[in-house]
Chains A and B, each alone.
Chain A
């Protein structure tokens, strides 16, 4: 996976989060790819996690079964991009980049 594709995936994940969680007044540029999604960072909560898991599975066919796996996957947008690529959804990720 090239850096360029990774960048595209990061952008798509930001869009997915904004759309799924209906974040108002938040643009992709407001989300720092290296910051935590939960707690500090974006300040998402457990209900947000449940919605994101469903959206990510639908979009990338990648399962996040529990918060233990989620801790790694949701550590940051960069971590989530790595997780999606590692779980073998590289093709969908590339397609989504267009």
Chain B
């Protein structure tokens, strides 16, 4: 399975009074990896808007396996599931850099809408080309 990875360090303000990362931050870390993917294919949020579309998240899921703590270096990786419909489903894993242990895994689903909020069921034109390049990267023939 192909992944796109990035790393970050857990900051003091991201942990709670028990010394472990507050659960909502994991979604922000997922976003770091997703942006790393999207920038490779000119599909960053501003690129989407420039083409006349947005891609809002309609579902997000995370399983927390092991807590991340202040100053831990973590690896966040993203993988695109092969699209069956006009949507984007990314799978994520967050691992502890020093021993590779799995801290969390999750998934987000994004749908595609025009700027006026109309959901699109079929993709065409430049957006289709760029999405296809991204799919090819994760799912080479």
Q: In this assembly, does B109 line the interface, its C-beta being within 8 Å of a C-beta of chain A?
A: yes
Chain A positions within 8 Å of B111 at CB level: 46-47, 50
A50 touches B59 (CB 8 A): no
Q: In this assembly, does B84 line the interface, its C-beta being within 8 Å of a C-beta of chain A?
A: yes
Q: How far is the CA of A48 from the CA of B109 in the complex (A)?
A: 13
Chain B positions within 8 Å of A70 at CB level: 119, 121
Number of interface residues of A (CB under 8 A): 15
Main secondary structure of the interface of A (DSSP, over half): helix
Chain A positions within 8 Å of B122 at CB level: 53, 63-66
- Most chain B CB neighbours (cut-off 10 Å) among A46, A49, A50, A67: A50
A53 touches B85 (CB 8 A): yes
In chain A, residues 2-48, which have Cβ atoms closer than 8 Å to a Cβ of chain B?
45-47
Q: In this assembly, does A86 line the interface, its C-beta being within 8 Å of a C-beta of chain B?
A: no
With A50-B111, A51-B85 as given contacts, are A66 and B119 in contact (CB-CB < 8 Å)?
Answer: yes
Chain A positions within 8 Å of B84 at CB level: 51, 54
Binding site for B on A (CB under 8 A): 45-47, 49-51, 53-54, 63-68, 70
